[in-house]
Amino acid sequence: MDGNFLLYSVRMRAARGGAHEDGGEHISGAERLVPEAEAETAAAALIARALSRGVSPDFVRLTMERIELAELARVPALPLTTIHAGGPAEARLQAERLLREAGVSDPAITLAFESLQNGFGSERVVLRGAALVDPLTGERLDPLTARGVRATHFDYAPGARDAVAAHLAEQGLTHFRTLDALAVATKVLWSGVRAELCWSDEPEYIAGYVAAPICGYTRFPQFKPSGARGGRVFFVDRNQWETVRDRLERTPVWIDAGACLSDVSRPPRNVE
Ligand code: COA
C-alpha cells in the first residue's frame, strides 16, 4: 500500500422511535472498512441497507472514521461447514459436542442455551451485543447490563467479499446474513474467544452456528427453537476477558478469503 493510502471505518445504525441514545428501538446496523476511494459507495450502500428492512427508520446514524493502517490486522476467513441436523434438538446435541471439544464445560453450555432461549439474567433481556462467558463456570464476565460486547471495526478485504459470497452461493448460501455472520465469527475467534454460540434475534431466522478454532464456522440451518429470544455467547478465558473485549471492540480487521475458499469444500468431520 502506498503512503497516501487511507482506510476508513464506515458504520451505520438505524432505529425507530428516536435515536438509540434516546431509547429508540434498533432496526439494523452494518459496517465496512474501506479505502478512501470506496468510502462514498460504502456509505450509500449502508444507507440503502437501512432503508431496505421493510420498516422505515426514524433515525439513521452514519459514522465515518479514519483508521490507523498500522493497527490493521489481516485474518483468513474461517472455513465453513454446514450440519444438516434433523431439527433444533438434534442440532443442539451436535453443537454441544463441538463446544465441549472447544473446552466449554457442560454447566456453561447449559447456561448459555438457557440464556439464548429465555434471555439473559433475572430480567430475561436480549443483549445489544454478546455476553462474554467463562467457559468453565458459565458465569458472565462482562458487566451484567443489557449492553454486552459488540465485535466491530471489521470487514472483508478488497475482493474477498465477492470471492467469499460467490463461494457460499455455490453451496446455496445466498443470504447476506451468512456472509455477515462468517465475518463476525472470524473476527471474534481472532480476538481470542475460545468459542461462539449464536442464534439470531430475528424471530423468523432459525439458522445459527457454533464457531471455534477446532470446527471453524459450523452452521446449523435449523438451530433456533421456536419462541427462543436469540443472541450471542462468546466463551472467553476468565483471565483474558478484558484484553479480548478490547480487541473485539477496537482492533480493525480485514478478512481475507483464503481459508474459507480452500477448506470449505473439505468433507466435515463427524457430520452426517
Ligand atoms: N444492536 C442493538 N443496538 C445497537 C447495536 C446493535 N447491533 N449497535 C449499536 N446499537 C445502539 C446501542 O444503543 C449503542 O449503545 P450501547 O453502546 O450503550 O449499546 C448505540 O447504538 C451506539 O453504539 P455504537 O457502537 O457507538 O454504534 P456505531 O455507530 O459505532 O455502530 C454498528 C456500530 C451499528 C456498526 C455495530 O454495532 C453493528 O450493529 N454491526 C452489525 C453486526 C453486528 O451485529 N455485530 C455485533 C456482533 S456482536
> What's the 128 CA to ligand 1 centre distance in angstroms?
7
* Ligand 1 pocket residue status of 147, Cβ below 6 Å: yes
Residue 140 CB–ligand 1 contact under 6 Å: no
Cα separation values, 79 from 121, 133, 263, 268, Å: 33, 24, 5, 10
Which residue's C-alpha comes closest to atom 16 of ligand 1? Answer: 147
- At 79-137, the pLDDT tens digits run 999 999 999 999 999 999 999 999 999 999 999 999 999 999 999 999 999 999 999 99
Contact of 105 with 137, CB cutoff 8 Å? yes
Q: Which amino acid is at 234?
A: F
Task: Evaluate if residue 177 carries a pLDDT over 70.
Answer: yes
Q: Does position 229 have pLDDT exceeding 80, yes or no?
A: yes
Q: Is the dihedral of CA 257, 201, 235, 272 positive or negative?
A: negative
Say which residue the cell 432505529 belongs to: 15
